[in-house]
């Protein structure tokens, strides 16, 4: 055990982790192991002095989609703004066109290769949103593709994001589209395909009133709430998420202090998505100091998506959270482990202690700060999910 009570990582040196039936059975310094613990192991994995962390939990991704948006990105590099492109029918809607025309197999195949990279880099739990179908069949197909990815060995948590953008066939009938989300998509998705519901509260997305309807309908069907809030402007989405009892508000660049205070009071976590901030070359940063002051849990995720955060690298998100938002490397690691599970309602993982799920990643680094220090780093030496070795 580390001597220092200051150690934010809870370091245990020369450690042994005993895994049984998918759970951590015992963890501690090898010299403290009760008699028989080490001898009782049927299989022995020598991690050669590497650092072991909980398997990473990526609590916000849009991993399932058709096509890419490299062309749009080139236009943005030439000066066009993300919002201008969206208002001209590009952006999210261009991914919607590609996703609607993709089969279930196409969606699984594309997402699987991205997920395999995430697993290489230690991810053992991933949240995946719909939101590029914007019609019932296509939204449900996305969720089915996400569920199918559970066969990689990682845990997949799914979120219905029907209220991501207004589809072209509903231009001029916003209320009609929200009706479709609430009256058809949510009830059907809640029947085993989705664990949560989310909405994009933004000028180019949906109004606070529209998002309220979506979160209320989700709650009525037993779905936990999430909210894309205050990413590009301050619509007081953070306070809305708190008021609705959402598990998290996500992005939060424009969140004001009252929003941070409301989140803390409601136990609503802040999911920071520095990849989108970086890729959209935003300048306004989330109010990290206010979140710390009020005690809002700081979660870090990739936001992996084709438009604003085309990445499959959890360690890059951790690096960006430190460099761009000022998190400490220990906060970034906690944001992708211990604090991320509860956002998905998964309290059984994210910490290496007896009784938790045996989701582990082993790294060839000299200190845990190196996980955030390298801009991407190298793949994990070993990745274990539910007690099973994936890498």
Residues that bind ligand DI6 (CB under 6 A): 91-92, 95, 164, 200, 228, 231, 276, 303, 305-308
Three-state secondary structure call for residue 162 = strand
**The entry of ligand DI6, Fe ion, none that residue 308 binds, CB within 5 to 8 Å by partner kind:** ligand DI6
- Nearer CB in complex with ligand DI6: 278/373: 278
The minimum distance between CB 304 and Fe ion, in angstroms, equals 9
The sheet carrying 298-300 orders its strands as 56-58, 123-129, 155-163, 196-201, 224-229, 248-251, 269-272, 298-300
Find which of ligand DI6, Fe ion, none residue 307 binds, CB within 5 to 8 Å per kind. ligand DI6
d(CA 78, CA 255): 29
Distance CA 259, CA 231 (A): 13
Binding positions for Fe ion, 299-358, rule CB under 5 A: 303
331 binds, among Fe ion, ligand DI6, none (CB under 5 to 8 A by kind): none
- Given Fe ion, ligand DI6, none, residue 95, with its beta carbon under 5 to 8 Å by kind, binds ligand DI6
Residue nearest to ligand DI6 (CB): 307
Q: What CA–CA distance (Å, rounded) separates 241 from 136?
A: 24
Q: What is the spatial distance between Cα 319 and Cα 280, in angstroms, rounded to a whole number? A: 17
Q: Which is nearer to ligand DI6, 275 or 350 (CB)?
A: 275
Give the residue with the Cβ less far from ligand DI6, 273 or 352: 273
The answer for 10, left when phi > 0, alpha when psi is -120 to 50, beta otherwise, is left
Find which of Fe ion, ligand DI6, none residue 306 binds, CB within 5 to 8 Å per kind. ligand DI6
The smaller minimum CB distance to ligand DI6, of residues 195 and 202, is found at 202
Q: Classify 68 as helix, strand or coil.
A: coil
Q: Nearest approach, Cβ of 205 to ligand DI6 (angstroms)?
A: 6
Nearest to 317 by CA among 345, 285, 279, 343: 279
Query: Between 238 and 380, whose beta carbon lies closer to Fe ion?
Result: 238
Nearer to Fe ion, 152 or 308 (CB): 308
In sequence order, the β-bridge partners of residue 155 are 125
Q: Alpha helices of 78-225 — where are they, by DSSP H?
A: 82-87, 92-100, 104-120, 136-148, 174-180, 186-189, 208-220
The listed partner (Fe ion, ligand DI6, none) that binds 372, CB under 5 to 8 Å by sort, is none
Q: Select from 22, 80, 42, 9 the least CA-distant residue to 368.
A: 9
Binding of Fe ion by 230 (CB under 5 A):
no
- Token couple for 64: 């399932």
Cβ closer to ligand DI6: 306 or 368?
Answer: 306
Distance from C-alpha of 198 to C-alpha of 363, rounded to nearest angstrom: 33
200 binds, among ligand DI6, Fe ion, none (CB under 5 to 8 A by kind): ligand DI6
Task: For the CB of residue 81, give the shortest distance to ligand DI6 in the complex, in Å.
Answer: 12
Binding site residues, Fe ion, CB under 5 A: 303
């Amino acid at each position: 055990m580390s001597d220092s009570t200051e150690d934010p990582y809870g370091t245990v040196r020369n450690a042994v982790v005993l895994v049984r039936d998918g759970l951590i059975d015992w963890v501690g310094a090898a010299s403290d192991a009760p008699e028989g613990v080490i001898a009782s192991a049927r299989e022995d994995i020598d991690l050669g002095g590497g650092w072991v962390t909980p398997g990473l939990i990526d609590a916000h991704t849009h991993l399932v989609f058709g096509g890419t948006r490299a062309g749009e990105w080139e236009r943005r590099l030439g000066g066009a703004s993300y919002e201008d492109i969206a208002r001209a029918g590009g952006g999210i809607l261009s991914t919607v066109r590609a996703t609607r025309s993709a089969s279930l197999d196409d969606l699984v195949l594309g997402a699987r290769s991205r997920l395999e990279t995430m697993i290489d880099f230690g991810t053992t739990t991933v949240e995946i949103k719909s939101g590029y179908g914007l019609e019932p069949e296509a939204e449900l197909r996305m969720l089915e593709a996400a569920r199918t990815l559970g066969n990689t060995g990682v845990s997949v948590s799914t979120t219905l994001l029907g209220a991501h953008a207004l589809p072209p066939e509903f231009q001029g009938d916003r209320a009609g589209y929200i009706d479709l989300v609430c009256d058809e998509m949510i009830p059907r998705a809640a029947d085993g395909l989705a664990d949560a519901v989310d909405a994009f509260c933004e000028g180019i997305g949906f109004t606070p009133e529209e998002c309220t309807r979506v979160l209320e309908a989700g709650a009525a069907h037993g779905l936990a709430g999430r909210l894309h809030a205050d990413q590009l402007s301050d619509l007081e989405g953070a306070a809305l998420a708190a008021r609705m009892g959402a598990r998290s508000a996500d992005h939060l660049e424009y969140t004001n202090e009252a929003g941070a205070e409301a989140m803390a009071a409601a136990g609503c976590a802040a999911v920071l998505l520095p990849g989108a901030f970086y890729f959209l070359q935003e300048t306004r940063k989330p109010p990290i100091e206010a979140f710390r002051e009020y005690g809002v849990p700081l979660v870090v995720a990739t936001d992996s998506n084709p438009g604003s955060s085309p990445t499959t690298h959890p360690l890059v998100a951790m690096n960006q959270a430190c460099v761009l938002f000022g998190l400490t490397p220990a906060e970034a690691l906690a944001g992708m482990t211990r604090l991320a599970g509860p956002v998905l309602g998964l309290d059984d993982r994210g910490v290496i202690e007896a009784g938790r799920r045996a989701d582990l990643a082993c790294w060839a680094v000299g200190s845990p700060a190196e996980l955030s220090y390298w801009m991407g780093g190298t793949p994990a030496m070993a990745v274990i999910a539910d007690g099973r070795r994936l890498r």
